[in-house]
Amino acid sequence: MAIYIEDGQRVKVFVPRNISEDTVKDFLSKKTAWINRHIICDKSSEKGSGGLVYSDGAMFLFLGKTYPLRYYPYEGKKATVRLWQDSLQISVPWAMPCDDIEPSIAHALKAWYRKQAKTMIAQRVLDLGRPFHISPEQVMVKTQKHLWGSCYPRKRMIYINWKIIMAPPQVVDYVLIHEFCHLLEPNHSSRFWQRVRSCCAAYQECVGWLKDNAPRMRFSS
């Protein structure tokens, strides 16, 4: 059996067909304190400062699509994340204190996003680098406050902001192509943009998407 709190107020229980009603009632009775605690936590988040929250139902971007967080209690010791069907499933320890839940989820989400970014970008570097007939010495996925990507042509190194994994795949590709072009043209001259255009005809739409959605691609510190 499993419980989750939907939108901070609706309690849903998943029960296998062979489980009796008395067993379900006993299970819910034992978990009443957990249910009440999480409803209170979600209401406290809604009354907060208006900043980014990690409560059940909060919406987050991944590869250009928006997914709600969905809390699921489990017997583990730390919060974990997985993309499951149409939501980001957050497994939350039964015994975790209320004040620890959102910070733990924030930490788990960041780790999950970074892992997804490293996996996808490593593959796209291989695929997109072929047309250039060059390859950087190293591509690092890291936190960058104001840039989606940066390039050091002399060292042949590229840095990519892990939060770009929130953008659609074609936007991720554009950022990588942009930095690949800087390995050949270390400026923003007309020749540079010609190279970008030759590999990413819709680059202006990608730039526009980033400008419009950058405020949604963030995490609280």
Q: For residue range 62-101, what is the model confidence (pLDDT) as tens digits?
A: 999 999 998 888 888 899 999 988 999 999 888 788 778 8
Q: What is the pLDDT of residue 29?
A: 76
Q: pLDDT digit string (tens) for 21-33? A: 777 677 777 667 6
CB 2 within 8 A of CB 13: yes
| Spatial separation of the C-alpha atoms in residues 192 and 104, rounded to whole Å | 43
Q: pLDDT digit string (tens) for 125-146? A: 888 877 767 778 889 999 988 8
- Provide the strand spans (E) within 149-192: 149-152, 157-161
| Spatial separation of the C-alpha atoms in residues 186 and 16, rounded to whole Å | 60
Above pLDDT 90, what percent of the chain? 48
- Four-residue CA torsion sign, 216, 208, 187, 194: positive
Mean pLDDT of 99-114: 91
CA distances from 37 to 29, 43, 98, 100, 141 (A): 14, 10, 7, 12, 37
